[in-house]
Amino acid sequence: MKLHEYQAKELMSQYEVPIPEGRVAYFPYDAWMVAMELGFPVVLKAQVLTGGRGKAGGVKIAKTADEARDIAQELFGKTLVTAQTGPQGVKVRKLLVEKASSIKRELYFSITIDRTIGKPVVIASKRGGMSIEEVSELYPEDIIKIPIDPAVGFLPYQIRRLKYDLDLVEQEKEISRIVSNLYKLFIDKDCSLLEMNPLVVTDTNHLVALDAKIEIDDNAIFRRKEIAKMRDLTEYDPDELEARFAGLNFIKLDGDIGCMVNGAGLAMATMDVIKFAGGNPANFLDVGGEATPDTIAKGFEIITRDPKVKAIFINIFGGIVRCDKVANGILQALKTVEVKVPIVVRLTGMNKEEGMEMLKNSGLAFSVAQDIKEAAHMITQITKPKKEENQTTKETNKKEK
Ligand code: GDP
Ligand code: MN
């Protein structure tokens, strides 16, 4: 779960990490008010759950309250398209208005989990401000990586290394306090990422977290009630939210083949075979191990709501759940939800034969495939644009000309 910059800064501030003074604005007039309170210049920053806002025009400096209001007005109407959002972009609904800092140097600092060593790792660089991917490509020698042993935590010699490598001898006390506190925050809140890009040295030689990003491990949200409350529902796709509340794992994509699958791995493999057969998945959907009539019905409901969906591919592996039980679930679900597009089903695993028999004898129009390859072929036959027809129309057009 991603936190907004202002939420990340709130947490960091609780851990005594210096952040610029600021407040969130929901309307242009709020921005005017906050600017008046803070003094000038102020910086206005779009609060969207994506990075690269600066380059996309989501970070602006204002020298007067009127200018802050005008910039806010413009930003609120905007859909921000950054390097990370995809072409559809994200709508700006909140702004963080902060007292602008005078920057002497921009540094990069983050803590994340290094999965290959199974430990937290601190990543830092003198080259802050630009994306860390860019730094690692252009100046790999300028990236410092310090693995942390969770049994002992961040050690003094590691802090000394940061101090020298980042040229922070003058800020020794500050950097050691910031780093130890951030590591504590990282562990306390089950973070998967904590990043300051940039962490700046101001013109008065103090350290300030100018930008902050925190991601919390989704598997730990259940024990972090205070974090769960911070989830900004307006930033999520409504279908994805509805699915989440129903216990489904759903991600919308832009193709035309609806997918209903049990298990995340099989759901990914299903999208791969669809692509391989020349089709395009409309979604990722893992109905979970249970696959009850209720979850299947909810799945149908959400999938068919997308007008682009021309067919549905149900791909079930009967491991934890038996195929006949899933088949029953599908039949029950179809009594409550009307599905107008063709459905291709592939069942395999425990009680496969019984399951397939039930679907075939249901009187409903299923195509039942023997294996995943056949299923992918069947489904793309349904959704593929009819080339021959197009050609004939083209030919007729030519003749007419
Ligand atoms: P991002 O583009 O989404 O990472 O947003 P950032 O908060 O990192 O801002 C992008 C850039 O804007 C920073 O790297 C700074 O160069 C600049 N910036 C942001 N806030 C301030 C500020 O208070 N003063 C000055 N001078 N520059 C700022
Ligand atoms: Mn940044």
Q: How far is Cα 127 from Cα 141, in angstroms, rounded to an integer?
A: 11
244 CB-near residues (< 8 Å, 6+ apart): 236, 250
Q: How far apart are CA 147 and CA 117, in angstroms?
A: 8
DSSP string across 325-351: HHHHHHHHHHHHS---S-EEEEEEETT
pLDDT digits (tens, 9 = 90+) for 57-108: 999 999 999 999 999 999 998 999 998 888 889 999 999 999 999 999 999 9
Reply yes or no on whether the pLDDT at 389 is more than 70. no
Share of the chain above pLDDT 90, in %: 83
pLDDT at residue 359 tops 80: yes
Q: Which ligand is nearest to the CA of 129?
A: 1
| Residue among 384, 382, 350 at smallest CA distance from 366 | 382
If you average pLDDT over residues 194-215, what whole number do you get?
98
Ligand with an atom nearest the CA of residue 50: 1
Of 5, 9, 43, the one to substitute when testing ligand 1's pocket (max ligand atoms within 8 A of C-beta) is 43
Confidence band for 399, pLDDT divided at 50, 70 and 90: very low
Question: Pseudo-torsion of CA 218, 224, 229, 234, nearest 10°?
Answer: -10
Strand 311-318 with 257-261, pairing: parallel
Q: What percent of the chain has pLDDT over 70?
A: 96
Q: 396 falls in which pLDDT band (50, 70, 90)? A: very low
pLDDT of 354 higher than 80: yes
What's the chain's average pLDDT?
Answer: 92
pLDDT of residue 308: 95
Instruction: Report pLDDT for 321.
Output: 83
pLDDT at residue 161 tops 70: yes
CA of 204 to the centre of ligand 2 (A): 21
Total residues belonging to the chain: 401
pLDDT tens column, 13-60: 999 999 999 999 999 999 999 999 999 999 999 999 998 999 999 999
Which pTM does this prediction carry? 0.82
Peptide bond into 41 cis (omega under 30): yes
Q: CA 315, CA 281: separation in Å to the nearest integer?
A: 13
Q: How far is the CA of 194 from the centre of ligand 1 (A)?
A: 17
> Sorting pLDDT into bands at 50, 70 and 90, what band is 191?
very high
Write out pLDDT tens, residues 287-341.
887 778 888 999 999 999 999 999 999 999 988 788 999 999 999 999 999 999 9
Residues with a catalytic annotation lie at 108, 195
Confidence category of residue 387, pLDDT binned at 50, 70, 90: low
CA–centroid distance, 55 to ligand 1, in Å, is 10
- At 265 the pLDDT is 93
Mutate to test the pocket of ligand 1, among 103, 108, 130 (most ligand atoms within 8 A of CB): 103
pLDDT, tens digit, for every residue of 42-55?
999 999 999 899 99
Summarised one tens digit per residue, pLDDT across range 106-144 is 999 999 999 999 999 999 999 999 999 999 999 999 999
Model pLDDT, residue 71: 98
